[in-house]
Structure formats: C-alpha cells, structure tokens
Amino acid sequence: RKEVEQDPGPFNVPEGATVAFNCTYSNSASQSFFWYRQDCRKEPKLLMSVYSSGNEDGRFTAQLNRASQYISLLIRDSKLSDSATYLCVVNIAGNTPLVFGKGTRLSVIA
Amino acid sequence: ETGVTQSPTHLIKTRGQQVTLRCSSQSGHNTVSWYQQALGQGPQFIFQYYREEENGRGNFPPRFSGLQFPNYSSELNVNALELDDSALYLCASSPPDRGREQYFGPGTRLTVT
C-alpha cells in the first residue's frame, strides 16, 4: 500500500463547479498534513495546511479525519486559474521528509 | 518566489555520465532536502542535509550522493546515469527547527538519453 494515495484523476470541470479531492495515508503516526499545488513544469507550492478541526481559505476548504486517515480538499466556484495538479502531502514529524501523493490533475474548462 | 534557487534549469546527459545539480537555500534556512519527480508522479524524497551532514535518506541507491556547504547551499551528484534518472529534481529548504516548512526551488529538469 502506498503511503499517500490520491484520486487518480484527471478531473475536468466547468467554471463555477465545485470539485473535491480525496486522499488517504497509511502511517497513523503522521502529524502534519498539507495540500500543495503544482502548475505544469513548475515546482510544488504550498496551498494550505490541513488541521483536525478543518480549515478554510476563501474558496478552498480542507478537512482531516485522523480516525479514517483521510484528507480532503474542496474547491468551490472553480476558476480557470485553478487548473493544476493538487498534491496531498503528509509529514510524520519535524525534520522528517514530506511524503507526497501522486497528485490529481484538475482542468477547469470555460 | 521562495528565494530557493537551483542550477542549471535544464540539462541533457547520456547514460553512464555523471551530473551535479546545485541548490542555494533561502536566507536563514539551514536544512536542504532533495526530491526526484518523475513524469506523472509526486516528488520522492532522496535525502536531506542539516548542518553539512546527511540527515535522512530515501530509497535511492548510493550513486545518488550529496553535499551541503557552510553557507547551507547544497549539491546533488548522480553517477552512472540511467534512463530512469530522467526527472525533475527539486530542492527544498527549511528554517531552523521548522523542518516541515519546506520551500521549493524551481527544479532542474534532467533528461538522460
């Protein structure tokens, strides 16, 4: 079983749609959780951290369920500029490496 | 921009050759991590350097090696290149005691023919 698994995608959605990405992780000792965004041929950039209580940043909402070892990202009112690959990332502790999922590609269509 | 720089941006090598990739960390960051991202995959951890010492290594063979310098910049060396080494190589730096905060450079795209 892979350490971090994501929806295989790609997701093709019209502008204005709501889209949800799911992710599961295998290591129950994981402590920190993130969503990164990666544009084509660019480096990953932190989109948001994910907290147990859930957190929201504008149109983006992230949720964490530690019991199910499940993380989600919801994007409301999709924009063309949201087109990218979304990477689910888990960290066990402190200076340990980030563990990335394979990513899910999103294409928002006009 | 994160302030992390990498060089070169692109390069092409042939099988069996050796390559050195370079990374300058963001000012004040003392930890550097290297990742390999093959096409269609997420980044995979290669190794991390902290205070000029290797501080963790992923599942990569010994022909992948690295260095960190007193100014915290870092090099990734790959010997005996193989076709499967073709990938985007990403460097990320972290501030002291906040290793989970990793700021990525733009990457070096290596093609092995």
Give tens-digit pLDDT for B94-107. Answer: 888 777 788 999 99
Token pair for residue A58?
Answer: 């504008």
Token pair for residue B60?
Answer: 């990569």
Burial B73-111 (b: 16+ CB within 10 A, else e): bbbbebeebeeebbbbbbbbbbbeeebbbbbbbbbbbbe
Residue B49 CB coordination number (10 Å): 26
| CB pairs < 8 Å spanning A and B | 53
Model confidence at B5: pLDDT above 90: yes
What phi, psi does B85 have (nearest 5°)? -80, -10
Q: What is the distance in angstroms between the Cα of B17 and the nearest Cα belonging to chain A?
A: 24
By C-alpha distance, the chain B residue nearest A32 is: B100
Exposed, middle or buried by CB within 10 Å (0-12, 13-18, 19+), for A49?
middle
pLDDT in tens, B43-72: 999 999 998 999 999 999 999 999 999 999
Distances in whole angstroms, Cα of residue B68 to Cα of each of A110, B57, B94? 47, 14, 14
User: What ranges make up the beta strands (E) of A19-66?
Assistant: 19-25, 32-38, 44-50, 55-57, 60-65
For chain A, residues with pLDDT lower than 50 are none
Q: What is the distance in angstroms between the Cα of A12 and the nearest Cα belonging to chain B?
A: 17
What phi, psi does B106 have (nearest 5°)? -75, -10
Model confidence at B1: pLDDT above 70: no
- Binary contact (B33, A98; C-beta < 8 A): yes
For the four alpha carbons of B59, B106, B99 and A30, in that order, the dihedral sign comes to negative
Q: Which amino acid is at A4?
A: V
Give the pLDDT score at A94. 67
d(CA A8, CA B104): 24
pLDDT in tens, A49-80: 998 888 999 999 999 999 999 999 999 999 99
